[in-house]
Structure 1
Amino acid sequence: MHIRRSPRRSRTGVTLLSLAALATLLLSGCSSGGVTSSATPAAAEATLAPLPRATPSALAPYYGQKLSWRGCGVPGFECATLKAPLDYDRPGAGDVRLAVARKKATGPGGRLGSLLVNPGGPGGSAIGYLQQYAGVGYPAGVRARYDMVAVDPRGVARSEPVKCLDGREMDAYTRTDVTPDDQRETVGLVDAYKKFAEGCGAQSAKLLRHVSTVEAARDMDVLRAALGDRRLTYVGASYGTFLGATYAGLFPDRVGRLVLDGAVDPALPARRLNLDQTAGFETAFRSFAKDCVRQPDCPLGTKAGDVGKNLKAFFDKADARPLPTGDADGRRLTESLATTGVIAAMYDESAWEQLREALTAAIKENDGSGLLVLSDSYYERDAKGRYTNLMFANAAVNCVDLPPAFDGPDAVRRALPAFEKASPVFGEGLAWASLNCAYWPVAPTGEPHRIEAKGAAPIVVVGTTRDPATPYRWAQSLSRQLSSARLLTYQGDGHTAYGRGSACVDSTINAYLLRGAPPAAGKRCS
């Protein structure tokens, strides 16, 4: 699947999910020991069980640690290192060091505690998000009353990052054809997934077994204690909703004010998540198509019904003859890179104009540079050919959290009609992109499960009706699972809702964070 972090909030180029990791992006399940289920093995019947309230004596040193804050190069922010056990079942077997950052409450008004933020992914840097957006862009009233805090989850960015491929290898990986036309191309795609997985296994073997969402949620509870907070207050977007909901399921009595924006449904298996998301991207694309044909310069036709067919024809041409881009490293725009660029723009409607311009250059001038910019932003590749570890961590977490969507090419082929029905434009590529976890070097530790968090304080779940990456139905499902959830609906486009221009959404969430007042049942914004 392809969840990914929220692209927000830059309003310029989008930074999202990767097509190759795409399918695996789907979020994931839970780790061993945290799920209970009935005798029936149906995924939807498994439920995340809370952990004992008493802290085990073996974990006491972690819960009792004091953070040593220091400057970290960004004015107004402090950084520290948090220790957590690599394996919670064997706390004496080694530690993982987690990077933490904060910006203290600015006042006026009494301090309400710490507000932990996570932008999603899995694999997005929470510290980068805090320093570049949340710590300066969240509403002033929220920043006045809370210490804004972020921790990069284990395996991500500054927290002992998972490593897999170098820049040149990633360039080759991102160009891999994910719509194979014959057996030779199918073998090439499988080989690319295997090489990616082998690289992760060779460079991060010890860590790969311990980057699950359950372990990351347990790390957040250690951080809560180190910060001196009795309860966790948290805003998570996209995959960050799964992380936050998992925390609530494990520690319902320690839930403070939780906002889960762009919700993921933890009860679904990987294939269903991927299929739902494929339909979500189709929904977003249709909104883009309607907007495009209203513009005088739409490069994909004058009728909304023709936009998808014309885009698919362009992808086919790029598959046969990749476009020049003027890239310093000689990269050309392949079908896979072009598709990634288009998908990136689906996350935020403010990127539609940029996408139209990029498609115009590609279709009318044979210039693939604009789509390559969008694709590079999505993969977090810089001008020097360096990639962050976003895609590595993304695959590592997803592949350990859930059993793979498919076990081989034949299974993908059988599922193609359903995926292509869900999205005639993106379905084929997204189905094949769901194959990569089949070759992962570490067995999954999680499974699909419900999260009820019985006894938790009110939790706000936010769903956007035309969200491409986390379909609205997932927010509806999660809000029904969580015993104390209130669903806030945003009728609109784009991925996530808080801080994206709706005064109704922002004021509702601000009231909850500052006064503890959850939205009224059935609250809808536009």
Structure 2
Amino acid sequence: MQRGRLVVLFGALCALIVSGCTSAETSAPRADLPPPPDGLSKFYSQPLEWGSCEGFGSPEDRLPPKTECARITVPVDYARPDGPTAQIAMSRIPATGDKIGSLLMNPGGPGVSGLSMVTVGNRTELADRFDRVGFDPRGVGSSLPAIVCLTPQEADSERAEPPTDNTPAGIAEAEAENREYADRCAQRTGTELLTHVGTREVVQDMDVMRAVLGDPKLSYLGYSYGTRLGAAYAEKFPQNVRALVLDGAVDSSQDPVQESLRQAAGFQGVFNAYAAECAQTADCPLGTDPAQSVARFRALVAPLETTPAATTDPRGLSYGDAITGVQQALYSDELWSILTQGLTELRDGRGDTLLQLADMYDGRREDGTYANTQDAFNAIRCVDDPRITDPAVVARQDAEYRKAAPFLDDGKGTGAAPLELCAAWPVPNTSTPHRVSAPGLPTTVVVSTTDDPATPYQAGVDLAAQLGAELITFRGNRHTAALVAGDRCVDDAVIDYLVDLAAPGVGLTC
């Protein structure tokens, strides 16, 4: 059974050399830092000792040789600062020139490691003027303790399962599996941490990071779910903001149903664009008539519901992994040629390329172990969003989702569907959808891509309006753009803003 996920491409694809780091250095706090919140002085004033990155990250993080790493201590529950603590993993590449301060960055997810974010802005003025800092949010990656729900063997087994059969028996089985998954998360992670892994806590961790980095005000670049962190930080600490760039917006005013349906339509739009481009070649695996692309795609993947495609890996390609692999490739038009390769292989009875794309999405490593990306995604999402426990709402959502994204419709809608995982989650949600309000916030910047599959364009328009932010529109078929799409128009505007606080101006379109 496949659980719904929103994971940014950028967090999965950063690729530079892995190496050790520099010798230890302690960051000295500055005298002009704002006072810490009551009861939290020991966290805000703790020393930050940068040192080797050995023991931080995974091979997929690919930290370059000059990266330094550290961990800071934060309370698990900010309402109980003398209670259990957690450690937040951080990475840094120091500024090479006249330093402004630190630029804290997050790739999104939720649940994606952010240590490799230090590579963003290489060979730009950002590298000269900022210490570029990445971090793993609490429970994620190298932060301690980590969210753990499934063993690698259990994750492989879950991915191999056939799609949910929306008969009464199938719905009952799916909901039982959700309860089992939730129980494993509670047993292996503990309900204390699970209760406190949401956006509410992470933005407080970000303010501790700001202080221990020695910055009176925060400069921040967030992608995808990282925009939700940035917006929530602005709402809680507007007086501590220097600059925010939020790219690939998650609109916190949407409920989970609205977000899911917008995303479904976004993926369908990018699938259509891919199919139209593919159809220009005679050997396109979806044929040369874009109007038939959905039917051709469904014909390719439908047999996998009962029989996996052969792969050199003994797992084979399941139906769920095929869908995941295709969605991974739709995050950026740079991957469309790989998607064509994968669908061509599938037409010929093999699934190696799509399985590799699915492994990338799910954080599966070559040795068969997993990053905790998907477990962390589920845990964070289930405390960030309200529960949907009404079967009628779930049924309507399922029917509307199939209409919004027909390339994902297996044709087996029954007018009913299982309750989603979060309905079985063992701890309560800690956030609710609302419009962001941050009086006194300085000028901020939102970047939104016209054909972004995961965080559709309108969400960026809406978030910019809520924050009173300058909106940069990027015309493209990809998820996120600033400093990752190679577009000088976007990049120059973002760099000028971060360095000089120069607003891009109303209506900038790139």
* TM over 0.5, shorter chain: yes
Equivalent residue pairs, number: 474
Secondary structure in 2 matching 1:216: helix
Aligned counterparts of 1:384 and 1:495: Cα–Cα separation in 2: 29
Amino acid at match of 2:5: H
Secondary structure in 1 matching 2:91: strand
Instruction: Pick the aligned partner of 1:421 from 385, 403, 416.
Output: 403
Aligned counterparts of 2:507 and 2:287: Cα–Cα separation in 1: 39
Residue of structure 1 in register with 2:384 after alignment: 401
Specify which structure has the bigger relative contact order, considering alpha-carbon pairs within 8 angstroms and separated by 6 or more residues. 1
Aligned counterparts of 1:236 and 1:419: Cα–Cα separation in 2: 28
Deviation digits for residues 149-182 of structure 1 (CA, Å, limit 9, x no counterpart):
1121101001121011111100111223334253
Deviation of the 1:72 alpha carbon: 1.6
Aligned counterparts of 2:300 and 2:186: Cα–Cα separation in 1: 37
Secondary structure in 2 matching 1:245: helix
Percent identity over the alignment is 38
Amino acid at match of 1:413: A
Residue of structure 2 in register with 1:126 after alignment: 114
Contact 1:7-1:348 at 8 Å conserved across structures: no
Task: Tell whether 2:479 aligns with 1:495.
Answer: yes
Contact 2:330-2:453 at 8 Å conserved across structures: yes
Deviation digits for residues 1-21 of structure 1 (CA, Å, limit 9, x no counterpart):
533234368489xxxxxxxxx
Deviation of the 1:237 alpha carbon: 0.4
Task: Tell whether 2:427 aligns with 1:442.
Answer: yes
From the superposition, tell whether residues 262 and 434 of structure 1 become closer, same or farther in structure 2 (CA, over 3 Å): farther
Deviation digits for residues 226-284 of structure 1 (CA, Å, limit 9, x no counterpart):
11101100110010010111111100011111100001100011111111111111111
Task: Tell whether 2:288 aligns with 1:302.
Answer: yes
From the superposition, tell whether residues 9 and 380 of structure 1 become closer, same or farther in structure 2 (CA, over 3 Å): closer
From the superposition, tell whether residues 249 and 374 of structure 1 become closer, same or farther in structure 2 (CA, over 3 Å): same
Deviation of the 1:477 alpha carbon: 0.5
Contact 1:84-1:219 at 8 Å conserved across structures: yes
From the superposition, tell whether residues 240 and 105 of structure 1 become closer, same or farther in structure 2 (CA, over 3 Å): same
TM-score of the pair, normalised by structure 1: 0.86
1:166-185 matches, cutoff 5 A? 166-185=151-170
Residue of structure 2 in register with 1:517 after alignment: 502
Deviation of the 1:310 alpha carbon: 1.1
Residue of structure 2 in register with 1:194 after alignment: 179
Task: Tell whether 2:364 aligns with 1:381.
Answer: yes
Aligned counterparts of 2:226 and 2:379: Cα–Cα separation in 1: 16
Secondary structure in 1 matching 2:193: helix
Amino acid at match of 1:334: S
Residue of structure 1 in register with 2:455 after alignment: 470
Residue of structure 2 in register with 1:250 after alignment: 236
Q: Which runs of 5+ in 2 are unaligned?
A: 16-33, 55-63
Secondary structure in 2 matching 1:93: coil
Contact 2:12-2:360 at 8 Å conserved across structures: no
1:328-367 matches, cutoff 5 A? 330-363=314-347, 365-367=348-350
Structure 1 runs, 4 residues or longer, greater than 4 Å off: 8-12, 408-411, 427-434
Residue of structure 2 in register with 1:63 after alignment: 44
1:262-281 matches, cutoff 5 A? 262-281=248-267
Residue of structure 2 in register with 1:38 after alignment: none
Amino acid at match of 1:70: G
Aligned counterparts of 2:294 and 2:217: Cα–Cα separation in 1: 48
Contact 2:394-2:418 at 8 Å conserved across structures: no
Deviation digits for residues 167-203 of structure 1 (CA, Å, limit 9, x no counterpart):
1100111223334253443334323322221111101
Amino acid at match of 1:513: L
Instruction: Pick the aligned partner of 1:85 from 44, 68, 75.
Output: 75
Aligned counterparts of 2:96 and 2:343: Cα–Cα separation in 1: 44
TM-score of the pair, normalised by structure 2: 0.89
Deviation of the 1:326 alpha carbon: 2.2
Contact 1:178-1:432 at 8 Å conserved across structures: no
Instruction: Pick the aligned partner of 2:300 from 306, 310, 314.
Output: 314
Task: Tell whether 2:310 aligns with 1:324.
Answer: yes
Contact 1:278-1:427 at 8 Å conserved across structures: no
Amino acid at match of 1:103: I
Amino acid at match of 1:156: V
